[in-house]
């Protein structure tokens, strides 16, 4: 019976670790998708609405995770509209790109509590950047 108690504790810790890590990876994928959605929304919006449309798209894409939203104190969203880093071949004109960067401090705001003694497997910050060429 003692052997089962020792093995059960290790087994349940491992299972909880797998569940917690899988949930974090799902959230990581959602953040990546949210950054891409924000860049797409900002790229098709008029230049005066780029930031509003992009942050709304990021919030909509990530909203299913515990009410996480852009610039809510946990998720930081930065949207910029600037010339693209690469220049087009002549005779094309300079292009404008929308860049969306999202950052979530996972170590201070975990979605699920970390299993005992397993904090080292989780990243401290999840951050992603997506770039899309804006409509002229």
* Residue pLDDT tens, the chain, 136 long: 888 888 998 899 889 888 988 999 999 999 999 999 999 998 888 877 888 888 899 988 888 777 788 888 889 999 998 888 776 677 667 788 899 999 999 888 888 887 777 778 888 899 999 999 887 6
The number of distinct structural domains making up the chain is: 1
Domain of residue 22, residue span: 2-133
Q: What pTM does this model have? A: 0.83
Residue 13 sits at φ, ψ, to 5 deg, of -65, -45
Closest C-alpha among 98, 110, 106, 113 to residue 58: 98
């Amino acid at each position: 019976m003692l052997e089962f108690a020792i093995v059960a504790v290790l087994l349940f810790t491992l299972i909880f670790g797998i569940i917690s890590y899988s949930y974090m990876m799902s959230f990581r994928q959602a953040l990546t998708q949210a950054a891409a959605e924000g860049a797409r929304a900002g790229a098709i919006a008029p230049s005066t609405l780029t930031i509003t449309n992009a942050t709304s798209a990021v919030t909509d894409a990530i909203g299913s995770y515990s009410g996480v939203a852009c610039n809510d104190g946990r998720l930081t969203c930065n949207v910029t509209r600037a010339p693209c880093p690469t220049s087009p071949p002549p005779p094309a004109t300079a292009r404008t790109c929308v860049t969306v960067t999202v950052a979530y401090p996972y170590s201070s705001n975990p979605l699920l509590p970390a299993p005992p003694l397993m904090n080292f497997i989780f990243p401290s910050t999840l951050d992603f950047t997506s770039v899309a060429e804006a409509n002229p």
